[in-house]
Every structure is written in C-alpha cells, then in structure tokens.
Structure 1
Amino acid sequence: MKCREGCGACCIAPSISSPIPGMPHGKPAGERCVQLSVDNLCRIFGQTERPAVCSAFEADIEVCGNSTEDAIRLIGWWEQITAA
C-alpha cells in the first residue's frame, strides 16, 4: 500500500519518543508534529533530521485503513494496545 498523500495520520496519532526538529523530546500520541505542514506533508521528509521511526513507517491497510479518519483511529488503537 502507498501512503495517501496529505493524510498525515502517522504524524498525529502515534507518540514519537525520538527528537524531532522543533520537538526535542518527541511528541505525545494525538499531538500534531510541528513538521507536518498545513497540507499534511512532512517538511523534513528525506532529510537526516527526520526520526528513524518516521522513515521506517510503511503504510499498511491494517494500520491505515481506507481513509485518514480510519488511520487516525487505527494508529491510535495500536498506540494504546502497545503502550507499556
């Protein structure tokens, strides 16, 4: 599955513990990444400053569903069940 351009769910729903430019302590689940543009595109895509966890993310129907709304809900659910 390819990412839906302009979705941005993976930059909103999950927590990210790695430093992000502008968010040195990462971000909590449900908070919009400061590097996510108004068009829901990553401003640091392909740059070395982008966290490895972001670069490693691969879209999948199990995680992204059929819409941005599905993705927000599903990624949030995965975040909750995997939080320790």
Structure 2
Amino acid sequence: MDCRLGCGACCIAPSITSAIPGMPHGKPAGVRCVQLNDDNLCQLFGLPERPNVCSDFSASIDVCGNTNQQALILITELEQHTS
C-alpha cells in the first residue's frame, strides 16, 4: 500500500522519541509534527534530516485503514496499546 497523499496521520498520532528538526526532543503522541505542512505533507520527505523512524514507516491497510480519519484512529489506538 502507498501512503495517501495528504493523510499525515503518522505525523500526528504516534509519539516519536528521536529528534526532529524543530522538535529536538521528538514529539508526544497526538501532537502534530512541526515538519507537517498545511497540506499534511512532510517537509523533510526524501531529505537526510528526516528521522529514521519516519523513513522506515510503511503504510498498510492494518495501520492506515481506508481513509485518513481511519488512519488517525488506528494509529492512535496502536500508540495507546504500545506506550
């Protein structure tokens, strides 16, 4: 599965403990990444500054569902069960 353009759920729902440009201590779950633009696109996509955890993420139907809203719900639930 390819990421849905403009979804951004993986940049909002999970906590990220590694440093992100503009967020040197990472980000808590449910907080929008500062690198996510108004169109819900990562401003670091394809750049070496992008954290490995972000680059390593692979969209799948189990995690992302069929809509952007489902992705936000599913990733939020996964975060709650793994934190």
**TM-score bucket of the superposed structures, by smaller chain:** over 0.9
Identity %: 67
Aligned to 2:55: 55
TM-score, structure 2 normalization? 0.98
After TM superposition, the structure 1 = structure 2 runs for residues 22-41 of structure 1, keeping only pairs within 5 Å, are 22-41=22-41
Question: How far, CA to CA, are the matches of 1:68 and 1:52 in structure 2?
Answer: 23
Q: CA deviation at 1:81?
A: 0.6
Aligned to 2:77: 77
1:68 partnered with 2:68: yes
Residue ranges of structure 2 left out of the alignment (5+ in a row): none
Name the count of aligned residue pairs.
Answer: 83
Q: CA deviation at 1:82?
A: 0.8
1:13 partnered with 2:13: yes
Following superposition, which runs of at least 4 residues in structure 1 exceed 2 angstroms of deviation? none
Question: How far, CA to CA, are the matches of 1:28 and 1:67 in structure 2?
Answer: 23
Q: Secondary structure at the match of 2:80?
A: helix
Residue ranges of structure 1 left out of the alignment (5+ in a row): none
Q: CA deviation at 1:43?
A: 0.2
Aligned-CA RMSD value: 0.4
